[in-house]
Amino acid sequence: MSEAIYPPLTRAALAIGRLDQRLLNHPLRPAILFRERLEAARACAAVDGHWIDPWHLAAELEGLKPRIIGESAYERGNVIDAAKAAFDQYLWLTRPTIEQTTRLEKALATLHGAATATGPLLGAAQAFHRWIEAGGDRSSLRGALVRFWQESHVLHCPLPLVGARAFANEAPWAPTQWMPLFLSCLAEEAEAIERGTIALEQAWRRARAQTRVQRRTSRARAALDLIAAFPVISASRLSELLGVSLKAAYLHLERFLADGLVVEVTHRSARRLFALTGLEPLREAVTPPRRPVPGRKRGRPRRDDGWHDAPASVAPSPILVPASPPEPIDYAALEEALAAADAAMARFRKVVE
């Protein structure tokens, strides 16, 4: 075995050990896992030829309507295909299907077999290279790595450390070059997760420090802790976790919004979701709800009614037509009718007398 593998192996072991120690019983672990799973799914899809914004995938996972960007149907179709590929990678890493689980078991057995002789990190690099050489797929072994790190006691939480960049187009494939690269990619991923964790902790502490002075019985800081722990949260979910009424939960959220401690990622739609500051990109990836144009009646407008060209906030001005001068009225026929009526009444009086 080449001596070039020992520096990246040492770096990967130290980086993963530091990260595992930091995340052990961490209060923000659900939010950290949410973000890192998105990033891992994005990175895996990218090296497989499908680039996707991770916040687009986050909107899909949260049941929101993502904004489809593209000038043509072809470009928009590429975005949808990339989102599907990233979602498949997300399933492999987090919630594999029954069929995927069967394939994961075989890949997991391969990893454990290689780790028996050379240890979990070096064994994972050797097993991955042999797996691809034998015609195996990347997704199966990537998903198996998440379970392998926990079963081999490398990590205590299911972090997706998969070394995605080791499969970039310019990456070498010779074992003496690829295995050090794979271990370096694992170290880079662990170091990036640690930096993201530190940034999230700092945002959380700043939010707690900026909380307005509350009564001793206030649940404001507990509410902030829950918002930080969950990636996105609704008022109903917050009220359930805090044990307060829905109105009280909304009051906390509106106060946090006014203070700039949280952001709303759903553009004030019917289903409002909130998150700690730092998830603003998710708001930009979500399509705003359709709202009625002021002054317009219900139903779809006609193409020729001018609503397509009129600004959304200004109603079209009514068209004023100048009135025409009145025509003279002819009373001759009315006078003849009145004269005939008078003559008839005179004759009737004579007959009666």
Residue 314's pLDDT is 45
| Residue 273 or 271, more confident | 273
**Sorting pLDDT into bands at 50, 70 and 90, what band is 305?**
low
Of 80 and 284, which is predicted with more confidence? 80
Average pLDDT of the segment spanning 100-126? 94
Judged by DSSP in three states, 275 sits in strand
| Residue predicted with more confidence, 317 or 220 | 220
Instruction: Report the percent of the chain where pLDDT is more than 70.
Output: 71
Q: How confident is the model at residue 96 (pLDDT cuts 50, 70, 90)?
A: very high
CA 270 – CA 287 distance, rounded (Å): 13
pLDDT band at 312 (very low <50, low <70, confident <90, very high): very low
At residue 185, the pLDDT reads 96
- Of the candidates 19, 50, 2, 37, the one whose C-alpha atom is nearest the C-alpha of residue 181 is 2
Q: Letter for the amino acid at 2?
A: S
Residue 90, SS3?
helix
What's residue 310's pLDDT? 47
CA 236 from chain centre, in angstroms, equals 19
pLDDT of residue 176: 93
Q: For domain 218-285, give the fold.
A: Arc Repressor Mutant, subunit A (1.10.10)
Position 311 scores a pLDDT of 47
Higher pLDDT, 208 or 64: 208
Tens-place pLDDT, residues 150-191? 999 999 999 999 999 999 988 999 999 999 999 999 999 999
Mean pLDDT for 132-160 is 95
Mean pLDDT of 44-72: 72
- Per-domain boundaries in the chain: 3-199, 218-285
Name the band, by pLDDT with cuts 50, 70 and 90, for residue 301. Answer: low
The whole-number pLDDT of residue 315 equals 45
Closest CA to 65 of 56, 76, 52, 77: 56
CB 267 within 8 A of CB 289: yes
Q: Which of 27-36, 101-110, 208-217, 282-291 has the lowest mean pLDDT?
A: 282-291
Asked if 60 contacts 83 with a C-beta cutoff of 8 angstroms, the reply is: yes
